[in-house]
Amino acid sequence: MISEPRGTRQPDGFGLARELTDEDQGIPCVVRHEDAGGQCERPAVEKVYDLAFCEVHGPEARLGALGAASEEAANFFERFRNPHVPRPGSAIQRGLKVALDYLNAERPAVGDYERALLRAYQDVPEAARSRVLAWQAEEEQSNPDPRSLDDTLLEMLDTVHACMRIAFEEGETWLVEQLEEERESLAAQAAVVCT
Is residue 158 in some structural domain? Answer: yes
Is residue 77 in some structural domain? Answer: no
Please tell me the predicted confidence (pLDDT) of residue 130: 93
Please tell me the predicted confidence (pLDDT) of residue 79: 77
Is residue 78 in some structural domain? Answer: no
Please tell me the predicted confidence (pLDDT) of residue 1: 37
Percent of the chain with pLDDT over 90: 49
Mean pLDDT by 10 residues, the chain (195 residues): 43 76 87 94 94 95 90 79 75 77 73 92 93 88 74 91 94 96 95 85
Alpha-carbon span 163 to 49, nearest angstrom: 11
Number of domains the chain is built from: 1
- Per-residue pLDDT of 67-97, as tens digits, reads 888 888 878 877 777 777 777 777 877 877 7
Note whether 116 and 2 are within 8 A (CB): yes
Is residue 130 in some structural domain? Answer: yes
Alpha-carbon span 148 to 140, nearest angstrom: 8
Please tell me the predicted confidence (pLDDT) of residue 86: 76
Is residue 12 in some structural domain? Answer: no
User: Whole-model pTM above 0.85?
Assistant: no
Is residue 7 in some structural domain? Answer: no
Domain that holds residue 124: 17-71+110-193
Please tell me the predicted confidence (pLDDT) of residue 11: 52
Buried (b) or exposed (e) across 141-160, using 16+ Cβ within 10 A? eeeeeeeebbebbbebbbeb
Please tell me the predicted confidence (pLDDT) of residue 55: 95
- Per-residue pLDDT of 121-142, as tens digits, reads 999 999 999 999 998 888 888 8
Please tell me the predicted confidence (pLDDT) of residue 5: 42
Is residue 103 in some structural domain? Answer: no
Which pairing describes strands 17-19 and 46-48: parallel, antiparallel, or unpaired?
Answer: antiparallel
Is residue 171 in some structural domain? Answer: yes
